[in-house]
Amino acid sequence: MNRKLLIDKVGIEGIRFYDAYRKNGGYVAVEKAFKMSPADIVEEVKKSGLRGRGGAGFPTGMKWGFLAKPEGVPRYLVCNADESEPGTFKDRYLMEFLPHLLIEGLVISSYAIGSNRTYIYIRGEFKWIIDILEEAIAEAKNNGWLGKNILGSGFDCEIYVHTGAGAYICGEETALLESMEGKRGLPRIKPPFPAVKGLWGCPTVVNNVETLAAVVPIINLGGVEYAKIGIGKSTGTKLISACGNINKPGVYENGMDISVEEFIFSDEYCGGIPNGKRLKACIPGGSSVPILPANLLLKTAKGETRMMTYESLADGGFATGSMMGSGGFIVLDEDQCVVRHTYTLVRFYRHESCGQCSPCREGTGWMEKILHNIEYGKGKMSDIDLLWDVQSKIEGNTICPLGDAAAWPVAAAIRHFRDEFEWHVLNPEEAQERNFGLAHYADPIEVAVA
Ligand SMILES: Cc1cc2nc3c(=O)[nH]c(=O)nc-3n(C[C@H](O)[C@H](O)[C@H](O)COP(=O)(O)O)c2cc1C
Ligand code: SF4
């Protein structure tokens, strides 16, 4: 079974453009889909077991099934192309090299849920990709795959690219919808969920780029065949963007039925750790998911081989496991400082907090200050417990999951690397000296934490 269903065609000359894409089997899935009913397509997606590739891993067919269908009210499909999670760079790869694959997936998905106006929400920093998408949409329209009465089906569909101003929070689906409506990107309280009240108050499906692209091989193969790839509830193929201390950073597609060890060390994927260094830890699913030390990364706490599946990466819960998240796989070698790393992440979350909820707005600020002090040799032992306390008050107490995303990395860093935090407290001069050359990267904050 081919385990490269999405990016196998990258490298074919001209594949970014319509002619080459069509010559290489492009839009065949649309032809097949228009011979099916929308309900049958939803059923195929359910059978495929496809789970959302944006982070939460929610079953896509089930999400489509929840869509409210009141008479006379438009429904919308919004493709989430914000890709704001640090360490994640798979969607931009897909859009840059295979824009027609995404458009093909959007046409089929729009037909399945009845969206006549479909949007790609993308951050403004991706200017070059926005241009690529606009060109591909024009090509698709000129060749009859978009517009009125597509393939004589009676179904009309237009795709619009909507540019955001580049804020992490606008990747959260309800903040994204607010942004599309021309407002500040502030997450909405759920319920109501977008499937009931989404864009301009209408039923809306928000899906990730990779999720929607995966609909193409699902229709081509059939849901049942697609589900045969992978293990358990981790069906189909998954794009992983790998970075950090590895020999071959890049975007890889795999069937999820490979071990983490194979993914990191085999030449087919990351190619091992450079300069003969040892593996220290890994954040397997983008910056928001818990960091795992090497001993829990390659084997679970039960001693089983850790696989690249949703289930195996989460095995052990947050005590000894992590998450697939958005597939942003960040590898740390033995030279990396977990305290510094956690501080960098928390600075990001503090900066990106929209400020609506006190635990997130205040908590991220406090965590940043405490971590700054520990990292720069001004911390006390009690600060480690204080940090633990602050993160625990954020988790589960906010409108959107950004608060959790800020708390989880801190909790995991303390849980697995408490000795490094203590080292910084016990060795303030060395901690400061070691950071001397990096000091210009830090905010000049000097805060005494009582
Ligand atoms: C702070 C935050 C940022 C997010 N950023 C993204 C993003 O950049 N891209 C994405 O697809 N989903 C992102 N999500 C998840 C979306 O809210 C939503 O779950 C996803 O787009 C649904 O698509 P899926 O079911 O295909 O995964 C983010 C969530 C949060 C809380
Ligand atoms: S958790 Fe943070 S980002 Fe999310 S709504 Fe609350 S303040 Fe805003």
Question: How far is Cα 110 from Cα 39, in angstroms, rounded to an integer?
Answer: 12
Distance 238 CA to ligand 2 centre (A): 29
Q: How many CB atoms lie within 10 A of CB 298?
A: 17
Ligand 1 mutation target, pool 62, 172, 364, most atoms within 8 A of CB: 172
pLDDT of residue 428: 86
Say if strands 204-208 and 75-81 run parallel, antiparallel, or are unpaired.
parallel
| Cβ-proximal residues to 266 (8 Å cutoff; 6+ apart), any chain | none
Q: E strands within 131-237?
A: 158-164, 204-208, 230-231, 234-235
**pLDDT tens track for 238-285:** 999 999 999 999 999 999 999 999 999 999 999 999 999 999 999 999
Q: Give CA–CA dist 222/375, Å, rounded.
A: 53
pLDDT at res. 447: 38
pTM (predicted TM-score) = 0.95
In this structure, which ligand is nearest to the CA of 394?
2
What integer pLDDT is reported at residue 450 of this predicted model?
A: 37
- In the prediction, which pLDDT does 284 show? 97
Residue to probe by mutation, ligand 2, list 351, 356, 393, most atoms within 8 Å of CB: 356
3-state helix, strand, coil in the chain (%, to 5): 45, 15, 40
The answer to whether the CB of 398 is under 6 A from ligand 2 is: yes
**283-121-398 Cα angle (round to 5):** 55
Rounded Cα gap, residues 121 and 179, in angstroms: 9
> Rounded to the nearest whole angstrom, what is the distance from the C-alpha of residue 80 to the centroid of ligand 1?
7
pLDDT at 437: 44
Distance CA 369, CA 71 (A): 53
Task: Identify the pLDDT of residue 1.
Answer: 54
Please work out whether the CB of residue 425 comes within 6 Å of at least one atom of ligand 2.
no
Residues of the chain with pLDDT under 70: 1-2, 434-450
DSSP 3-state of 261: helix
What are the C-alpha distances in Å from 194 to residues 34, 92, 190?
Answer: 26, 24, 8
Kindly give the number of the ligand 2 atom that is closest to the alpha carbon of 360: 2
Q: Identify the residues whose C-beta falls under 6 Å from ligand 1.
A: 52-56, 58, 80, 82-85, 168-169, 171-173, 206-208, 211, 400-402, 405
